[in-house]
Chains A and B, each alone.
Chain A
Amino acid sequence: MEKRVTFNERWLPYLLVAPQIVITLVFFFWPSGEAIWQSVLVEDAFGGNSKFVWFENFSHLFSDPNYFASARLTLVFSALVASLGLAASLLLAVMADRVIRGASAYKTILVWPYAVAPAVAGVLWGFLFNPSVGVVAWALSVIGIEFNYVINGNQALLLIVLAAVWNQISYNFLFFLAGLQSIPKSLIEAAAIDGAGPGRRFWDIVFPLLSPTGFFLLVINIIYAFFGTFGIVGSLTQGGPGQSTNILVWKVYNDGFRGQDLGGSSAQSVILMAVVILLTFVQFRFIERRVHY
């Protein structure tokens, strides 16, 4: 879409876009270019000398079982975060859509996990499940379950999934609720007159009409699980114990800053960039379609 009426100025528009373009060039294009360039170099251990090695960093990465383990872990993690998060928030949104009394009070409490930083969310959940003083860990031990995320890898993964779902639930809830409220009441009423009960109405009418929102949220949740959960991992498990919560975005940071493996870390960055571009593309294709609906 274009404007019919515009202003004629020669230099003013350049002046107006300049701040954003300069910042984008310096802090976006330059580093991204550098990441691509670094990914084909190997630096020797003392720094300074670097050698052009074509795709050696990538072939190293693809023959590294740790990298595959991390990629598989990231897939499992994001599948868990997306499925649990969407199921829980859909349930709450459907219930909130039904009630009239107290709806806004429920909503106010449900929106604020969004405002809590992922890194702080990690600290809160770590406290609840702390092996020595955590109240949930204590309750679990009373019923005979030993919960210690510091030494048990599966429990550590479960804990970061819970913290991530909690952190993202307000977002999913608000979009589901908006989706539910935009479904015409007349459809529901017609089905009710034809004798369909609440369950039948949900599965045959509401659920299909909500599927565009659901698909959009699925993409957003996968992006969130891939990248947004960095803070949760950082304050809860730091990728451990062992490699059990070493998701890709943590591995980029860990290999680059702690392991000082610039080439390897940059190669991982380049792969992650490709993943984000793909996901964004899927999201945009879908939104285009939703507009035409």
Chain B
Amino acid sequence: MVENRPLVTWLSHIVLIVGLVVIAFPVWMTFVASTHDQATMLRSPVPLWPGSHLIENYKEVLFEGYNAKRGTVPIYVTLTNSLVMALGVAIGKIAISIIAAFAIVYFRFPLRMTFFWAIFVTLMLPVEVRIVPTYGVVASLGMLDSYSGLIIPLIASATATFLFRQFFLSVPDELTEAARVDGASPMRFFWDILLPMSRTSIAALFVIQFIYGWNQYLWPLLITTRESFYTVVMTVSRQANVIDAVPSWNLLMAMAMLAMLPPVLVVVFMQRQFVRGLVETEK
């Protein structure tokens, strides 16, 4: 603070609080809706304060699904699928890109730059753009309705490879020399020196990629046809698009809360790594 101007400081707080209220309001209303019974949520205006049906609503969607009579799958199944997918995407991406970056930085071999550029161009095309042909490829490989189909097409990532390349380039050469003098093999050097040094980068990337994997929508929508492979984000969106005669807003919003909770927890509890990951993956 350059000077003391209480009025301006108060104004800043007021603007921030108004901003926070506006930003938190959609989530607050979702939470409120998930704690009332169905009838209350059909009468406008809906309440702004939580009700008393929290536990039974969440129990119902978790273990019976949005509409058990129509055979919708319980949300714990879709939550598990989302978790498998998010972890698979995050860990898979980190694993394949850290070894690729290791090869590109620490070895000289023919076609090295070709590989580098081949990885580089994947930075440019999000899956939404090439959606129809990618679906065709996955279908012809027989990977529809499977975890491998959900995960593997999304784990090729230039950003992670770049981040590790950048980091490896900043590791002092003396370490490599010392390892070589001591007769360590390249893989030994990778496991015992490089990998422990990359811990913070790995944590930062993990947060970003976990959220990326959890929040996928279009890809699971296309390649899953059996409800037992649905992810939670696409289930919420599908259910919101089904026009029921008597919609159960309370259950839909409980599902939305459950779909938001894991990534929000990851962001809030790993905030430092999250901010770091966000800034670093943009380079």
Residues of A within 8 A of B (CB): 1, 3-10, 12-14, 16-17, 19-21, 23-32, 34-35, 38, 88, 91-92, 95-96, 98-100, 102, 106-128, 132-135, 138-139, 166, 169, 171, 174-175, 178, 185, 188-189, 192, 198, 216, 220, 227-228, 230-231, 234-235, 238, 249, 252-253, 256-257, 262, 265-266, 269, 272-273, 276-277, 280, 287
Decide if B126 is an interface residue (CB 8 Å cutoff).
Answer: yes
Can you name the residue of chain B whose Cβ is closest to the Cβ of A235?
A: B237
Contact status B218-A92, CB under 8 Å: no
Contact status A95-B132, CB under 8 Å: no
Contacts of A1 in B (CB 8 A): 169
Contacts of B264 in A (CB 8 A): 112, 115-116
Contacts of B283 in A (CB 8 A): 287
5 additional contacts (CB under 8 A) given A3-B168, A120-B259, A252-B129:
A6-B176, A123-B237, A174-B278, A192-B3, A253-B218
Chain B: interface secondary structure? helix
Contacts of B153 in A (CB 8 A): 23, 27
A108-B161 contact given A92-B16, A123-B236, CB 8 Å threshold: no
> Given the complex of chains A and B, what is the CA–CA distance between A88 and B23 in angstroms?
11
In the complex, the number of residue pairs spanning A and B with C-beta atoms less than 8 Å apart equals 306
Q: Which of A100, A112, A119 contacts B233 (CB 8 A)?
A: A119
* Whole-angstrom distance between the Cβ of B162 and the nearest chain A Cβ: 11
> Given the complex of chains A and B, what is the CA–CA distance between A25 and B106 in angstroms?
23
A119-B133 contact given A5-B180, A13-B109, A14-B109, CB 8 Å threshold: no
> Given the complex of chains A and B, what is the CA–CA distance between A6 and B131 in angstroms?
40
Decide if B268 is an interface residue (CB 8 Å cutoff).
Answer: yes
Contact status B19-A249, CB under 8 Å: no
Contact status A118-B215, CB under 8 Å: yes
Max chain B C-beta neighbours (<10 A), residue from A96, A119, A178, A192: A119
Contact status A96-B16, CB under 8 Å: yes
Contact status A269-B129, CB under 8 Å: yes
> Given the complex of chains A and B, what is the CA–CA distance between A87 and B186 in angstroms?
50
Max chain B C-beta neighbours (<10 A), residue from A100, A121, A124, A128: A124
* Whole-angstrom distance between the Cβ of A43 and the nearest chain B Cβ: 12
Interface members, chain B 89-107 (any A CB < 8 Å): 95-97, 99-100, 102-107
Chain A: interface secondary structure? helix
User: How many residues belonging to B are interface residues under a CB distance threshold of 8 Å?
Assistant: 107
Decide if B150 is an interface residue (CB 8 Å cutoff).
Answer: no
Contact status A127-B30, CB under 8 Å: yes
Residues of B within 8 A of A (CB): 1-3, 5, 8-9, 12-13, 15-16, 19-20, 23-27, 29-30, 33, 41-46, 48, 95-97, 99-100, 102-109, 112, 115, 118-119, 121-126, 128-134, 136-138, 141, 152-153, 155-156, 161, 168-169, 173, 176-177, 180, 186-187, 189, 211, 214-218, 221-222, 233-234, 236-237, 240-241, 249, 252-253, 256, 259-260, 263-264, 266-268, 271, 274-275, 278-279, 282-283
Ranked nearest first, the 6 interchain pairs of A and B with the lowest CB-CB distance are A117-B215, A16-B103, A235-B237, A31-B133, A34-B133, A13-B107
Can you name the residue of chain A whose Cβ is closest to the Cβ of B115?
A: A17
Contact status A91-B130, CB under 8 Å: no
Contact status B29-A230, CB under 8 Å: no
Q: Which of B8, B249, B274 contacts A133 (CB 8 A)?
A: B249
Contact status A273-B125, CB under 8 Å: yes
A230-B133 contact given A21-B115, A109-B20, CB 8 Å threshold: no
* Whole-angstrom distance between the Cβ of A66 and the nearest chain B Cβ: 18
> Given the complex of chains A and B, what is the CA–CA distance between A135 and B161 in angstroms?
46
Contact status A235-B240, CB under 8 Å: yes
Can you name the residue of chain B whose Cβ is closest to the Cβ of A113?
A: B23
> Given the complex of chains A and B, what is the CA–CA distance between A174 and B125 in angstroms?
25
A266-B33 contact given A12-B107, A174-B275, A230-B217, CB 8 Å threshold: no
> Given the complex of chains A and B, what is the CA–CA distance between A96 and B18 in angstroms?
12
Contacts of A277 in B (CB 8 A): 124-125
> Given the complex of chains A and B, what is the CA–CA distance between A269 and B41 in angstroms?
42
Contacts of B42 in A (CB 8 A): 132-133
Contact status A117-B233, CB under 8 Å: yes
Q: Which of A26, A92, A171, A272 contacts B137 (CB 8 A)?
A: A26
Contacts of A113 in B (CB 8 A): 23
* Whole-angstrom distance between the Cβ of A108 and the nearest chain B Cβ: 6
30 A-B residue pairs with Cβ-Cβ distance under 8 Å, sorted by A, are A3-B106, A6-B106, A7-B189, A12-B107, A19-B99, A28-B130, A31-B136, A34-B136, A35-B130, A92-B16, A92-B19, A98-B12, A111-B271, A116-B263, A120-B215, A127-B253, A128-B29, A133-B42, A133-B46, A135-B44, A135-B46, A189-B2, A228-B126, A231-B237, A235-B236, A249-B128, A249-B129, A266-B133, A276-B126, A277-B125
